[in-house]
Structure 1
Amino acid sequence: ERFRNTTSAGMLGEMIAETDEIVGKLFQTLEEAGKIDNTLIVFMSDNGAGTNYVPQNLEKYGWSQNAIDLGGENVTLRGGKGYQHEGGTRLPFMWWYPNGFPARTIEDKTVSYLDVFRTLADLVNYSPTCNEGPDSRSLLPILSGESDEIAGPKEVLTHAVKVSPQAIRKNQWKLIPGSNEFFDISKDPGELNNLYEEEWAHPIIANLQARLNNRMASIDEREETTNFGELEIC
């Protein structure tokens, strides 16, 4: 309530203002403790704005505007929470570690929040077993500026159980096979130009589909051979 009507950007502006204050208090506490330069802070969102999940009529919450007008949309990106388009999966992902990472660096690599686990493990010199974060990759080489490459699978998968099918992204190419969509994200981040029917794209689509099938098969195999609460020895 304290942030109501404090900005000209409505609910979105108020949420940003509140987040800014909370993060600011965290930084202030770390500075006062003399730990700010040797602390790793990771800031991220769990998904894009819920353009289809959030209630559009917010009158009972004290707002006369609808959710889209209040910031529940993803600007030029298509789709939202639960969908495989960039509006649902392209997210803020910021790392702060003055003693370990170069400042003000922007990377355009395709990464996943699953990569947090092996990045942190790498940072503290822990070697995970093959069952611990099997789909996670360490981002430490690119975060530290030591390399432009990420070890491990070159493709990233996204999946929403009830809303839309799986998608696979490798380099600039993105395939959503369930809806016959194929995009060059480097040129078309808004996913407006579907290249699925282009003849030259068919070999790339086939390769991505094979990679997706292999990854999904490996996930199914792990689920069948690993009991809950136990680690398979491999």
Structure 2
Amino acid sequence: MSHFQVFIKSIVFIAGCLVFSTAWAQEKTLAVIDEKPLMLSDISPTKAELTETAEAMQVSRQLALSRIRHNRFAEQLIDKVMDTFAKQRQIQPDDTLVDAFASRFGDQLNANAENSRSVKEIANEQVRIWQIEKALYDEFGGTVIFTQQNPQYPIEAYNMLLKRYEETGVLVFKSKEYESVLKRIFAPPYEMKIAPEQISFVKPWWAEGQIIDSASSGEAKSEVEK
């Protein structure tokens, strides 16, 4: 799971409940990005997933369905937005950074029994994400925030890109409900803002000599402007 996916799961605000029939779920378009539709069926869980989530969260199946769909919509749409931006800017993972990531985190990833992907795959994904976010910040600037999973998250640059894509027709929302879900994530006011003089995308945070984890998050938070 990418740091972005974890971030989304931690900040998405859930309001209301969604109830759809199976047939309607298969047909409803929620958004279109770069002429590719994102359907309700793409983000709907199986019956087993829904039951498991409802039991784990100790909530109704109705509320669990809403939460799963909201989270998946945000994750999948932003993935598609990032793919579109990367294609437009011809962004490919830098081999040197991929090797550096694999060298630093390889042992930890290999030791994780739950990890089903190769170190190379994960390294490529994380380097690509960083390169996209660097390009976003270089182009748009704006507020950067600290998150537990990403010490430099260019949240306002994401917001500006979404607005540009919507204005130019690259992104078209077909559902007010889900448009609101996404826009709440990136809209100001922002918390845990990093002071402008402390922002640097010269190299990835994981190449800075310190891994941000639960043990060091308190120290890291002292370095950002709340």
Q: TM-score range by the shorter chain?
A: under 0.3
Structure having the higher strand fraction is 1
Structure whose CA Rg is larger: 1
Structure having the higher helix fraction is 2
Instruction: Calculate the TM-score normalised by the size of structure 1.
Output: 0.25
